[in-house]
Amino acid sequence: MRYLTLLLLMILTAAIQAQDSDLTLQWDPVRNTVRGSVDLIGSANIPDLQWYFAEAAPHDSGEAEVLWTPISSLAFAPVVNGKLGSWNTTMQADGFYKIRLHAVNAAQESLYYVLAPILVNNNNSALVNLEPVLPVGTGDGADASASAAPPVIENLLPMQVGGHIKYFDERSQAALDAAGMTWVKKQVQYGISDGKDLIDAAHAKGYKVLLGAKGDKNQLAEDFDGYVANFAEYVAFLARNGADAIEVWNEPNIDREWPSGRVSGANYTKMLRAAYEAIKAANSDTLVISGAPAPTGFFAGCGWGGCDDNVFMAQMANAGAANYADCIGVHYNEGILPPSAQGGDPRDTYPTRYLILMLRRVAWPFRNADIPMCMTEIGYLSPEGYGPLPAGFTWAAQTSVAEQAEWLSQAVLIMSNFEEMPVELAIVWNVDFDTYGADPQAGYAIIRADGSCPACDAIASLQR
């Protein structure tokens, strides 16, 4: 039997040494296999504790690119010899993992305590763990919170282009590189993720990182001002971690993302202002992108459940949003015609159906502001290779993969030449999502069901 060397790990960002009892996970070494829900017991009581959470990563992941996945919610109150959270192991595939307790102090320094190897076995696999679970070194180096420097990137496309990823792995990176993309986007949740592992890994591979930061609408409803202040601290932390750009919230014009009855561009701008000021104080180089509203005409203005995106953006503009952002966020994801089309959609003539009209819809309320837009989500849905689309998405039933590829390429060219309001960045929705159900995300993915990526070649053809 091979035993791991016992190392009590406390990786700090400065010359700070925590006591053994300050940050620890209590784990019986012989409890080396888990399933179902597991209570995490230990202590998180470092000086000036701000928050902590637990993360997991494959035990055999390479030291240079360890991507940790949060397995517990963010917590703020110190705990001594008590429950730190719960780990739903069914969210991980069966296999060997290391877990770490990750705490952050007032100086935004990260401290870690790591245990391995732990076998997750929820499906009665034949895997067997013969090793004890012990504290181990992370392999992350002595400076755990210092992010890799932003990469120096040569962009050969007509504008800056990136992709929204689900996994930052060899497959997604190959697609990004093949297309000539230089940015990656991923959503992060306040209370769940700090984005640091993605930032460091992406920078090391030569990409810039856009984090779409969102939170809990129910907590926002309970204490708007308090939650906005806490959320601003969170996005500032993302900026300190080296995020190149942060999109503040997601689609805040609908009550799927924002509290019912409180949707307005003015209310959102209060959050945007707090986030902007906090981000710029933390890292003046981080771009602040306003949260792109969901394109819609459902509300015929504003109602209890939300606002049409054009009305919402007009409210934002009137509230001074252009003073609290570097870029105005935009989404476009319902096209079934070439992006040059400005009419002819069999559904109707509503402007959100057409890319050029959508761009003008954003440009108009900000016509007197010296600010660009950022297309933080542009995608074309195709069911090819997956089967029939679910209810609510059948409008894209006739879109082929070839059309998806051609239209994305044309869209990049159109956006790069749009004169009414410059388009600074375009993020393709999406690169590698693999879920095809009630929300057919895989149908938007440029990596198709057969592993090919026609859109990669089409976009790459624009390189100069």
pTM of the model: 0.75
Please give the domain boundaries of the chain with CATH numbers for all domains: 23-135 (2.60.40.2550), 160-460 (3.20.20.80)
pLDDT for res 65: 56
97 with 58: CB under 8 angstroms?
A: yes
pLDDT digits (tens, 9 = 90+) for 327-359: 999 999 999 999 999 999 999 999 999 999 999
Closest of 381, 409, 349 to residue 181, by C-alpha: 409
Determine the Cα–Cα distance for residues 383 and 394; give it in Å rounded to an integer. 9
If we measure between CA atoms, which residue out of 54, 99, 65 comes closest to residue 172?
A: 65
Residue 464: what pLDDT?
A: 87
Residue 31 confidence (pLDDT): 83
Residue 91: CB atoms within 10 A of its CB come to: 12
> What are the CA-CA distances from residue 388 to residues 18, 36, 257 (Å)?
56, 34, 28
pLDDT of residue 73: 76
Average pLDDT, the chain: 89
Percent of the chain with pLDDT over 90: 70
Residue 264 in this model has a pLDDT that exceeds 50: yes
Q: Computed from CA positions of residues 379, 382, 386, 389, in that sequence, does the dihedral angle turn out positive or negative?
A: positive
Identify the helix (H) or strand (E) that includes residue 213: strand 208-214
Split at pLDDT 50, 70, 90, the class of 108 is: confident
